[in-house]
Amino acid sequence: MNPSATVGVTCHSPNAVLTDPDGSPVRREIVLRTEALTRTYCMGDSTVHALRAANLVVKRGDFVALMGASGSGKSTLLSLLGLLDRPTSGSYWLEDVEVSTLGRNRLAELRGQRIGFIFQNFNLLARIAAWENVALPLAYRGGKVGHGEQKKMAMESLDRVGLANRAGHRPTELSGGQRQRVAIARALVTQPAVILADEPTGNLDSTTGLEIMNLLHDLHAEGRTIVMVTHDPLIARHANRVCTMRDGMLTEE
C-alpha cells in the first residue's frame, strides 16, 4: 500500500498524458498545484483535521468539481486555493509562485489579481450599481486602473454574461440568476488564473441554476480554469474532473 494513502490521497496522476478531444497528447500549463496541503483547526483540547495532505494539480482549462458531504473540508480547501486562508503545512504553487509562506499584503494582492470568486450568496454590495460591483476588483488596485477604464472593463465583462443592459441596476433590482451573473462578471473582470466557485447554484431554482451552469460551461469551453464546489451530482456532470472530499481527504474519480 502506498504509505501516503494513510495521510492523504493523491488527486492527480503526475505522469498521465492528457489528450485533446481528437486523442492527440497536449501539454497544458499548470495553473495551481498543492503538495501535502494540510489545514488543522485547534479547538481547545481537540484538533480538527479539516484538510489532510491534499495533492491537487489543476491545469489551464480544467473544470474541476469538488464534491463531498457537509463538513468534509471542501470550503477549507477552496479558501486555501483562493488565498483566503493559510495552510498548517504543505506547499501551494499558484502559477509560478509558492504562496503558502507569503505575507498578508502580498497574498491579498495576488488574490485580487489572479483569483476570481463566485459564492453561493453572490456577495454583491447592495447599494451600488451592477457595473460598480463588477469594477470593484479593479478599484482595489490602488489607482492603477483609471475610472474610465474600470467602467469600460466592467461593461465588457457584463456584456459577456448577457447583462450589459442592466449595468445601472442595483442588485436588489435584479433576480437571483442575474445577481449571480453579475458576480460571475466580477470574477472575470481581472482575467484571473482560476475561477473558484463555492456552490454557485445553491441559492437558485433548478432552471436558473441550469442557466448559470450553461454559462460556466461556456466559460470553460473558452479555455477558462474553474474549480467548483457542489454536492449535486447533476451539477458536477458539467465538470471534466470530479474530486471528492471525505473527512478531509481528497480523491479523484
Residues that bind Mg ion (CB under 5 A): 75
Angle at 32 between CA 249 and CA 222, to 5 degrees: 115
Work out whether strand 241-246 and strand 249-252 pair parallel, antiparallel, or are unpaired.
Answer: antiparallel
Q: Taking the complex as a whole, how short is the minimal distance between the CB of residue 113 and Mg ion, in angstroms?
A: 25
Q: Which is nearer to ligand ADP, 74 or 111 (CB)?
A: 74
Q: Which residue's beta carbon is nearest to the bound Mg ion?
A: 75
Among ligand ADP, Mg ion, none, residue 71 binds (CB under 5-8 Å by kind): ligand ADP
Q: Which is nearer to ligand ADP, 87 or 171 (CB)?
A: 87
Helix or strand run (H / E) with residue 87: none
Q: Does 1 bind ligand ADP (CB under 6 A)?
A: no
Instruction: Return the C-alpha cell found at 66.
Output: 469538488
- Among the residue ranges 8-16, 22-30, 72-80, 92-100, the one whose residues contact ligand ADP (CB under 6 A): 72-80
Instruction: Return the C-alpha cell found at 200.
Output: 454557485
Helix (H, G, I), strand (E, B) or coil at 14: coil
Work out whether strand 30-43 and strand 89-94 pair parallel, antiparallel, or are unpaired.
Answer: antiparallel
Helix or strand run (H / E) with residue 241: strand 241-246
Helix (H, G, I), strand (E, B) or coil at 198: strand
Among Mg ion, ligand ADP, none, residue 43 binds (CB under 5-8 Å by kind): ligand ADP
Binding residue (CB under 6 A) for ligand ADP from 30, 36, 40, 48: 48
CA-CA distance, 85 to 89, in Å (whole number)? Answer: 12
Q: Which is nearer to ligand ADP, 61 or 73 (CB)?
A: 73
Q: Does 73 bind ligand ADP (CB under 6 A)?
A: yes
Q: Does 68 bind ligand ADP (CB under 6 A)?
A: yes
The 74-113 contact track toward ligand ADP, x by CB under 6 A, reads xxx-------------------------------------
Contacts of 251 (CB under 8 A, 6+ apart): 9, 11, 243, 244
Q: Does 71 bind ligand ADP (CB under 6 A)?
A: yes
Contact status, residue 135 vs residue 153, Cβ threshold 8 Å: yes
Positions in the binding site for ligand ADP (CB under 6 A)? 41, 43, 48, 50, 68, 70-76
